[in-house]
Structure 1
Amino acid sequence: MILGHIGARKGSKGVVRKNFRELNGKPLIDWSLDQLFDHPMVDAVVVSTDDEEIYAHAVAKGALDIGLRPAHLATDTAPKWGVWQHAMEAGQTAAGQEVSAFLDLDCTSPLRLPEDITGALTLFGQEAPDMVMSVCEARKNPYFNLVEPDESGALHVSKPLPGGVWARQAAPKVYEHAASTYVVAPDYLRTAETIYEGRVIPFEMPAERCIDIDSPLDFAMVDFLLADFLKREDT
Structure 2
Amino acid sequence: MIIGHIGARKGSKGVPGKNFRDICGKPLIDWSLDQLFESKRVDAVVVSTDSEEIYAHAVAKGALEIGLRPAHLATDTAGKWNVWQHALEEAEKHVGPASAFLDLDCTSPLRIEEDIDQALDLFFAQKPDMVMSCCDARKNPYFNLVEPDETGALHVSKPLPGGVVARQQAPVVYEHAASTYVVDPAYLKQAQALFEGRVIPYVMPASRCLDIDEEFDFRLVKLLMQEQLNG
TM-score, with structure 1 as normaliser: 0.97
Which amino acid letter does the alignment assign opposite residue 6 of structure 2?
I
The 2-side partners of 1:78 and 1:164 are apart by 39
Match of 1:115 in 2: 114
- 5+ residue gaps, structure 1: none
Partner of 1:172: 171
Residue 180 of structure 1 aligns to a residue whose secondary structure is strand
Q: Which residue identity lines up with residue 176 of structure 1 in the other structure?
A: E
1:196 aligns to what? 195
Task: Write the letter of the residue equivalent to 1:106.
Answer: D
| 1:131 paired to 2:134 | no
Q: Give the CA deviation at 1:149.
A: 1.6
- C-alpha distance in structure 1 between counterparts of 2:16 and 2:148, whole Å: 36
> Aligned residue for 1:211?
210
Q: Aligned residue for 1:68?
A: 68
Q: Which 4+ runs in 1 deviate beyond 3 A?
A: none
* 3-state SS of paired residue (2:102): strand
User: Which residue is 1:182 aligned to?
Assistant: 181
Partners of 2:68 and 2:150 lie apart in 1 by 49
Aligned AA (1:206): P
Map of 1:145 onto structure 2: 144
Which amino acid is 1:47 matched to? V
SS in 1 for 2:230: helix
Query: SS in structure 1 opposite 2:75?
Result: coil
Aligned counterparts of 2:72 and 2:210: Cα–Cα separation in 1: 28
For the aligned residues, what is the CA RMSD?
0.7
Matched, 1:231 2:230: yes
SS at match of 1:133: strand
Match status 1:56 vs 2:71: no
Q: Which residue of 2 aligns with 1:40?
A: 40
For residues 5 and 141 of structure 1, what CA distance do their matches in structure 2 show? 32
> How far apart are the structure 2 equivalents of 1:142 and 1:128?
30
C-alpha distance in 1, partners of 2:9/2:148?
38
After superposition, give the CA deviation of every residue in 1:165-224 in whole Å (9 maximum; x if it has no partner).
101111111000000000100111001110000000111000000000011111111111
- The letter for the 2-side match of 1:113 is I
Q: Which runs of 5+ in 2 are unaligned?
A: none
Task: Number of aligned residue pairs: give it.
Answer: 231
Q: What is the TM-score with the length of structure 2 in the denominator?
A: 0.99
Letter in 2 for 1:193: Q
Residue identity in the other structure for 1:160: P
Instruction: Return the letter of the residue paired with 2:150.
Output: E
